[in-house]
């Protein structure tokens, strides 16, 4: 009996150990699955956040300028139209495999602005035509030298023309307007000249490729000009006026935050007006590109074909000089606010601060008037009261310096006077440049001025 009881106890213990081991195994599998599921869920949530963020970024870009969406649709439309040449059998038989050059032309020629598309399209078409004629002529000359002399002479032609065309790209005038055309010239001449050694029907091949390129260029031009066009000239015009508004915003902020009655001079680094001018400093590349494209565009809106686009580059250069002076002044004002030097002559400081505020306010008003004159394409007022008041305030600021002031105070006043005087000088030059633009572009006379002239004549 004792033996049987002992065996029963051992059996029960063994079963309990097996049950305990099975539970631990099940718990381990469950924990592994839970960990894997947590990782998978974290990965899916991360992908979801990335997709949401990317979609929001795309939506922000589209909302910022809906014309970008329109341009994307125009590119798709142009490619769809030009692909008809490949799908329609009679057209495909007429152009052959060269039909693909029309598709390639649309891809490389289509630009955001009308001027950009015109520039690349005309460069590509004209360069292809000239290079094709020269390559066919080179083939005819080389073919007369026999089977052995033909490849040598073709190689010489390719070397000379490619070298000369590449060197011409270093000429500033050609680099600015015809760089893409020169590149296409080198490519077309090399392809036609080299392939002429193996291709029998060279003239037919050259004709097919040129025809398909013309079709591609024409498709791009029609789509760009007649479907929601974006004119480079208008963009350049808006950019010039917008830069003047940004300069005025900086001066308005200086008048309010630094020289006004309630100005504290605290936390100036966080003020938005100190960042307004910074985009102007990097605007040269955009201006040069828009100016180059605008010269290719036909007359549109209020802009004639011979509109003085180069004058906008001069205004942009003066605006950048003014923005550079503003950058120096902003750095100095922030440093001065942090240093908190004691005022050796509070009465003189208050007087100089008041004069600086007047000069900033008048300069900002002058810039706003000049910006409005550009936007409305009207002649700026000959008697610009704001500009005259700013110049008068600058002269008064210089005269306020005296030899009896403490040295440190003189340094502060002298630096402020110098920086603000430079700003007024730059703004005066901008005003003169805009006057020249108004004369060259034949801006209209403002209605108020016309009424004043009529009154003067009657009186």
Instruction: Report residue 439 as tokens.
Output: 């004369």
According to DSSP, residue 403 is labeled: T
Compute the distance between CA of residue 251 and CA of residue 420 in angstroms, rounded to an integer: 10
Model confidence pLDDT, tens digit, residues 432-455: 999 999 998 888 887 665 444 333
As a whole-number percent, the residues of the chain with pLDDT over 70 amount to 75
Instruction: Report residue 284 as tokens.
Output: 């040269």
Of the pLDDT bands very low, low, confident and very high (cuts 50, 70, 90), residue 339 is: low
N-to-C CA span, the chain: 144
**β-bridge partners, 378:** 444
Instruction: Report residue 196 as tokens.
Output: 């002429």
Question: Does residue 24 carry a pLDDT above 80?
Answer: no
Range with the lowest mean pLDDT among 52-61, 234-243, 380-389? 380-389
pTM here is 0.79
Question: Does residue 156 carry a pLDDT above 80?
Answer: yes
Model confidence pLDDT, tens digit, residues 392-415: 776 666 665 554 455 445 566 667
Quick one: angle between helices 99-109 and 67-82, nearest 10? 170
**What's residue 240's pLDDT?**
93
Which residue from 127, 121, 142, 144 is spatially nearest to 189, judged by alpha carbons?
127
Compute the distance between CA of residue 55 and CA of residue 47 in angstroms, rounded to an integer: 12
Show the 3-state SS of 270-304: HCHHHHCCHHHHCCHHHHHHHHHHHCCCCCECCEC
């Amino acid at each position: 009996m004792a033996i049987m009881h002992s065996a029963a106890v051992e059996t029960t213990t063994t079963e309990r150990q097996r049950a305990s081991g099975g539970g631990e195994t099940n718990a381990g599998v469950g924990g592994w699955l839970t960990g894997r599921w947590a990782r998978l869920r974290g990965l899916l949530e991360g992908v979801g956040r990335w997709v949401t963020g990317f979609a929001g970024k795309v939506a922000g870009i589209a909302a910022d300028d809906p014309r970008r969406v329109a341009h994307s649709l125009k590119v798709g439309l142009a490619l769809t139209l030009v692909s008809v040449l490949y799908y329609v059998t009679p057209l495909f038989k007429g152009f052959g495999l060269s039909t693909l050059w029309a598709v390639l032309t649309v891809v490389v020629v289509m630009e955001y602005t009308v001027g950009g598309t015109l520039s690349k399209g005309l460069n590509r078409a004209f360069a292809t035509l000239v290079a094709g004629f020269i390559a066919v002529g080179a083939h005819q000359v080389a073919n007369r030298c026999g089977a052995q002399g033909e490849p040598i002479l073709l190689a010489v032609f390719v070397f000379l023309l490619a070298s000369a065309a590449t060197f011409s790209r270093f000429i500033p005038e050609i680099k600015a307007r015809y760089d893409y055309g020169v590149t296409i010239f080198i490519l077309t001449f090399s392809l036609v000249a080299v392939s002429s050694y193996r291709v029998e029907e060279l003239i037919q091949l050259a004709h097919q490729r040129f025809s398909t390129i013309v079709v591609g260029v024409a498709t791009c031009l029609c789509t760009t000009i007649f479907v929601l066009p974006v004119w480079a000239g208008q963009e350049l015009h808006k950019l010039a006026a917008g830069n003047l508004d940004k300069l005025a915003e900086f001066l308005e902020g200086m008048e309010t935050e630094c020289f006004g009655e309630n100005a504290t001079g605290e936390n100036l680094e966080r003020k938005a007006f100190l960042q307004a001018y910074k985009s102007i400093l990097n605007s040269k590349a955009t201006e040069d590109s828009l100016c180059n494209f605008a010269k290719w565009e036909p007359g549109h809106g209020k802009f004639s074909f011979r509109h003085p686009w180069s004058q906008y580059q001069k205004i942009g250069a003066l605006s950048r000089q003014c923005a550079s002076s503003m950058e120096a002044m902003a750095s100095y004002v922030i440093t001065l606010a942090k240093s908190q030097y004691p005022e050796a002559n509070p009465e003189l400081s208050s007087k100089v601060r008041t004069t600086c505020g007047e000069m900033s306010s008048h300069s900002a008003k002058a810039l706003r008037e000049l910006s409005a004159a550009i936007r409305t394409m009207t002649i700026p007022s000959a008697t610009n009261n704001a500009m005259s008041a700013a110049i008068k305030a600058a002269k008064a600021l210089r005269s306020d310096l005296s030899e009896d002031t403490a040295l440190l105070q003189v340094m502060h006043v002298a630096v402020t006077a110098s920086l603000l005087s430079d700003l007024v000088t730059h703004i005066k030059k901008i005003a003169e440049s805009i006057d020249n633009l108004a004369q060259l572009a034949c801006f209209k006379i403002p209605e108020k001025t016309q009424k004043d002239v009529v009154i003067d004549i009657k009186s």
